[in-house]
Chain A
Amino acid sequence: MQQLLTTTLSGLTLGFVYAAFALALVMIWRSTRIVNFAQAPMAMITAYVALVLIDAGYSYWIGFAAALLAGFLLGSLVEWLVIRRVDASNPINPVILTLGLFIVFHSLAALIFGSRFRSFPAPFGLRGFEVGDTTVALTGFGIFTILAVLVAVGGLVLLFRFTDVGLRMRASAFNPEVSRLLGVRVGRMLNLGWALAALVGSLSGLLIAGGGLVHPSYMDPVVVYGFVAAVLGGLDSPAGAVLGGLLLGLSLSFVSGYLGSELVAMAALVVLMAVLLVRPGGIFGGIAERRV
């Protein structure tokens, strides 16, 4: 019973982080039909921004806010400098490009911040709550993680559903040419989409880093998990990405808790292959195939 609860709670916490990362991937896929392989190192860079500020004596929250802002700006910059210049008529071009960015950001981080492991603080306790004489695996930082992702997802839902900018962004993603004819500055909207996606990616990077160690590759496993979560959700559906992330976090936590932690990465890939083979449109059926 104790282990079941622990496994479930730690799986949920991790699931929220994967959900955020998957959501960032889906936002970019939906609007530009690009899988952003560079999203993990982009998040990694911004975690270093936070770390540098925190090490310089600023509070965790200053570092946190600066990292999110850095993520927003980095996403915008990458779209503007690189992505909009690529000829996407051949789908392999953007793949090579974001893989190239992946390597560039890694090298830059190693060059600027060094490649040794550095510990990253957490703003809340990392010990579980004690209920009677048992310890529940939900930590203060775990609760913060869940709330932070919920706030981010809620904010995006409000933005996309209930604001003019959100409507313009959705229209640009669905039909760029018609949107232009309606006076939507589509390039600007796609840029904003990249910026917001990178911000959400940064959030997941900060949540993974909190109370742990960062180094230039610390986010790389999350690429795999985030991608699996996004594919689980159908790659085109933000809600699917969030559900996919939660489901994956829970499944992997159970694999780790009951079968052994060395099997986690393999389990994720098995899930990925199973979904691609059996339900390539994602497991949450009924999500309409994108019209071409």
Chain B
Amino acid sequence: MTTLTVQGLTVDYGPVRALDGVGFEVPGGITAVLGANGAGKTTLLRTLSGLVPARAGTARLDATDLLRTPAEEMTRVGLAHVPEGRGVIAELTVEENLHLGALGARAARRGTASRFDLTRVYELFPVLGERSGQLAHTLSGGERQMLVVGRALLAEPSILLLDEPSLGLAPRVVAQIFALIRELVDRDGLTVLLAEQNARSALSIADRALVLGLGRVVADESAAALAGDDRLRHAYLGA
């Protein structure tokens, strides 16, 4: 089981402080990162995966110091990040997108012991198999989300960062994809950090939830407790 430990994480964009001393621990399972637009969810995920430099703090994935790991090495230390807006490479085919994901797996994770290979991904998302030769820009929003999740799985991650996977998707599609993520966590021991504005859907599959408000952690508790905490829900989640 993988543990992500973050302490005092602080990030500035010029004069704007986007994260201010964020600390939490993810001991496995699904941790939802909730908060209104602009709370710092995307910044947190981008900092963990090396796309945004931190001003201060630490972030460790088991023995790896994430803040000293370049973004292009993240898949090789077991971290996969599906960015906001999904990050489909539209000019490549579905299969090329997936193959690219598999190329990023660290060598030791490839081959015999692999939990996720192309066959498995096509089993999980049959529609991707049907469309394997099509350019990715022909896919619907839901299919794109399946593609980027499948592509991230092929890197054999121990932790998966998902940034607003529900954005722009029909509730039925969101439910389908979230159920599948829950299944991957239970069956394959995947750890997930799920940034969402859609608190209701996220809490329905999460084990724990972290609420960000203006770059600070305002709540860190079990998903069930948060779902029942009307005060917090009203204050930070608008629900």
Instruction: Pick the residue among B90, B91, B155 that contacts A182 (CB under 8 A).
Output: B155
The 5 closest A-B pairs by CB, nearest first: A183-B104, A183-B75, A178-B87, A180-B71, A180-B72
B70 to A: closest C-beta gap in Å = 8
Q: Which residues of A contact B100 (CB under 8 A)?
A: 167-168, 171, 179, 182, 184
Q: Which residue, of B71, B73, B89, B101, has the highest number of chain A Cβ atoms within 10 A? A: B89
Where the two chains meet, the residues of A that have a C-beta atom closer than 8 Å to any C-beta of B are: 164, 167-168, 170-171, 174-175, 177-186, 291
Q: How far is the CA of A167 from the CA of B104 in the complex (A)?
A: 12
| A171 touching B83, Cβ below 8 Å | no
Interface size of B by CB at 8 A reads 25
B216 to A: closest C-beta gap in Å = 26
| A182 touching B83, Cβ below 8 Å | no
A71 to B: closest C-beta gap in Å = 27
In the complex with contacts A171-B92, A174-B92, A185-B83 CB distance below 8 A: no
| B151 touching A182, Cβ below 8 Å | yes
Q: Which residue, of A178, A181, A183, A186, has the highest number of chain B Cβ atoms within 10 A? A: A181
A83 to B: closest C-beta gap in Å = 19
| A167 touching B51, Cβ below 8 Å | no
| B89 touching A178, Cβ below 8 Å | yes
A266 to B: closest C-beta gap in Å = 37
| A174 touching B91, Cβ below 8 Å | yes
B96 close to chain A: CB less than 8 A: yes
A167 to B: closest C-beta gap in Å = 6
Q: How far is the CA of A171 from the CA of B103 in the complex (A)?
A: 12
Q: How far is the CA of A186 from the CA of B91 in the complex (A)?
A: 17
B74 close to chain A: CB less than 8 A: yes
B61 to A: closest C-beta gap in Å = 15
Q: Which residues of A contact B51 (CB under 8 A)?
A: 177, 180-181
In the complex with contacts A167-B96, A167-B99, A181-B91 CB distance below 8 A: no
A136 to B: closest C-beta gap in Å = 42
Where the two chains meet, the residues of B that have a C-beta atom closer than 8 Å to any C-beta of A are: 49, 51, 71-76, 80-81, 83, 87, 89-92, 96, 99-101, 103-105, 151, 155
Q: How far is the CA of A80 from the CA of B208 in the complex (A)?
A: 46
A selection of 19 A-B contacts at a CB cut-off of 8 Å is A164-B103, A167-B99, A170-B91, A170-B92, A171-B89, A171-B92, A174-B89, A179-B89, A179-B100, A180-B71, A181-B83, A181-B87, A182-B101, A182-B103, A182-B104, A183-B75, A183-B155, A184-B72, A291-B90
Q: Which residues of B contact A291 (CB under 8 A)?
A: 90
Q: Which residues of A contact B87 (CB under 8 A)?
A: 175, 177-178, 181
Instruction: Pick the residue among B49, B99, B103 that contacts A181 (CB under 8 A).
Output: B49
B110 to A: closest C-beta gap in Å = 12
Q: Which residues of B contact A168 (CB under 8 A)?
A: 100, 103
Q: How far is the CA of A177 from the CA of B71 in the complex (A)?
A: 9
Q: How far is the CA of A164 from the CA of B92 in the complex (A)?
A: 13
A171 to B: closest C-beta gap in Å = 6
| A181 touching B74, Cβ below 8 Å | yes
A164-B99, A174-B91 given; name 20 further pairs at CB < 8 Å: A167-B92, A167-B96, A171-B89, A171-B92, A175-B87, A175-B89, A177-B51, A177-B87, A178-B87, A178-B89, A180-B51, A181-B75, A181-B81, A182-B103, A182-B155, A183-B72, A183-B73, A183-B74, A184-B104, A186-B72
Q: Which residues of A contact B71 (CB under 8 A)?
A: 180-181
- In the complex, residue of chain B having the shortest beta-carbon distance to the beta carbon of A161: B96
- In the complex, residue of chain A having the shortest beta-carbon distance to the beta carbon of B90: A291
A190 to B: closest C-beta gap in Å = 12
Q: Which residues of A contact B90 (CB under 8 A)?
A: 174, 291
| A182 touching B75, Cβ below 8 Å | yes
Q: How far is the CA of A59 from the CA of B74 in the complex (A)?
A: 49
Instruction: Pick the residue among B80, B83, B103 that contacts A167 (CB under 8 A).
Output: B103
Q: How far is the CA of A170 from the CA of B87 in the complex (A)?
A: 15
Q: Which residues of B contact A177 (CB under 8 A)?
A: 51, 83, 87
